[in-house]
Amino acid sequence: MRREALTIDHLGAQGDGVANARQGPVYVPFGLPGETIEAEVEKGRARKVEIKTASPLRVEPACRHFGQCGGCSVQHLEEQAYREWKRDKVVRALAARGIETEVAPLVACAPNARRRVTFSARRLGNEVLLGFNAGQSHRIVVVEECPVARPEIVEALPELRELAKMIAATPKAFHMAVTATATGLDIAVTGAGKLGERQRRSVIDFVLARGFARLTADDEIIVEAMKPTVLFAEVPVAIPPGGFLQATLPAETAMADLVENHLAGARHIADLFAGSGTFALRLAVNARVQAVEGDQAALAALDQAARGWPALKPVTAEKRDLFHRPLLPRELDVFDGLVFDPPRAGAELQSRQIARSKIGRVAAVSCNPGTLARDLSILIEGGYAVERVVPIDQFLWSPHVEAVALLRRGR
């Protein structure tokens, strides 16, 4: 295949360099703006890249696995340029919807902060590979370090690899989600196959001997030495197996502070897509809260935590699928503050109902700038004004960025 000379124009949304060629844009893995390269081009992607002129923004990656492991895409980008690139993702998403508002500087994410990591694993003969998938591939890159993850997860890698070997009952790839909690590591395995009775006893002994808090396999609790517990402010919450949790505590705290400050003084607050209580339990220190969530296990954890912490104001937990049955204006109008934090798909139907409500202050939390911008445009059309948007880096060196938007009706 013929090699082409290319100049990288800008950084794409997923972290690839983008060169403008005769045949259209060419995506260059790990390329940076201003670099000149030679590469083979196939279906709009550069292969076998040779850098001729490196960018001054190029820095030494923090991890020896960078470029092989698909977990990080921009470790090689200088820090300030990286922060501007992430903030710009939010700016561009808002601009595409015609939303003009203040976008704050990116709230940075420190290394070694990720408290939940999902490894890929697969039996290969008498051994088991444990690591992360290579970029755009099912090939597992075995990792010996991870500068993104919490130290207690990295330090446990040898034991986790041994556990994966013990639990693998299939030659197919499977996943191991590991969460660092206040009571130890919570390990949730999916797709490893059915455990035999003898295998189960060995696995239980291993988990107890290593001091892990819990092991689940395909949602079945194999052993639970201690309830895996996290703190939302001061409130302890026993999280369900595989339940949603913000990936880093600093990002969670930054988001919660923004929401709490914006809704300060509200007496009755709705928390929609409430999960296990990230916002609800903090807000309940000063206000009555109705927490609405579609996942029963998460809601049960929230409810139990609220009941066990008498210093809180009343917290009502309601199980409801907000994608298909959003709260209506007559239900919303009893609240004077609201926060919603939906999955990546956003909250289009619920936003349409909020736009018709009389709630004075709304905080919108999102992990997807595109769907956030869509939902904000609905609220703006309904009479809300966006006071500011704060981008938050929770997934370090990845293309993902969180954002909190603060809105007020009639301003």
- With 80 as the cut, is the pLDDT of residue 411 above it? no
* CA atoms in the 13 A half-sphere facing the CB of 167: 30
Pairing, β 361-366 against β 402-409:
antiparallel
In this predicted model, what pLDDT tens digit does every residue of 128-174 receive, in sequence order?
999 999 988 889 999 999 999 999 999 999 999 999 999 999 899 99
The predicted model gives 284-312 an average pLDDT of 97
The model's pLDDT over 20-64, given as tens digits with 9 standing for 90+, comes to 988 899 999 999 999 999 998 988 999 899 999 999 999 999 999
Give the CATH class of 3-58: mainly beta
Secondary-structure class of domain 116-229 per CATH:
mainly beta
Q: Which residues, including other chains, have CB under 8 Å from residue 411's CB and lie 6 or more apart?
A: 385, 387
Give the pLDDT confidence score for residue 135 in this predicted structure.
82
Single out the residue of 131, 132, 122, 138 nearest to residue 172, CA to CA: 122
Q: How far apart are CA 373 and CA 369, in angstroms?
A: 6
Query: Do 3-58 and 83-110+245-409 share a fold?
Result: no
Q: What is the mean pLDDT of the chain?
A: 95
The vertex-219 CA angle with 340 and 277, nearest 5°, equals: 25
Return the pLDDT at 2.
73
Does the structure show a pLDDT above 80 at 1? no
- pLDDT value at 256 more than 60: yes
The pLDDT tens digits of the residues spanning 74-95 come to 999 999 999 999 999 999 999 9
Alpha helices, DSSP H, located in 216-357: 249-262, 280-283, 296-307, 329-332, 348-355
Please list the active-site residues.
367
Within a 13 Å sphere around the CA of 116, how many CA atoms are in the beta-carbon half? Answer: 20
Q: Could you tell me the two tokens for 30?
A: 């790990």
- CA 198 to chain CA centroid, nearest Å: 37
Which residue type sits at 386?
V
Residues ≥6 apart with Cβ < 8 Å to 307: none
SS3 405: strand
Q: How far apart are CA 275 and CA 250, in angstroms?
A: 18
Which residues carry a binding-site annotation?
246, 273, 293, 341
Domain boundaries, the chain: 3-58, 83-110+245-409, 116-229
pLDDT at 231 over 80: yes
CA 224, distance to chain mean position in Å, is 25
For the domain with range 83-110+245-409, which CATH number is right: 3.40.50.720, 3.40.640.10, 3.40.50.150, 3.40.50.300?
3.40.50.150
What CA–CA distance (Å, rounded) separates 114 from 109?
9
Catalogue the long-range contacts made by 46-51 (C-beta closer than 8 Å, 24 or more residues apart): 46/6, 46/19, 48/3
Extract the annotated binding site for S-adenosyl-L-methionine: 246, 273, 293, 341
Query: Mutual orientation of helices 197-210 and 157-167 as an angle, nearest 10°?
Result: 170
**pLDDT band at residue 187 using 50, 70 and 90 as cut-offs:** very high
**What's the whole-model pTM score?**
0.94
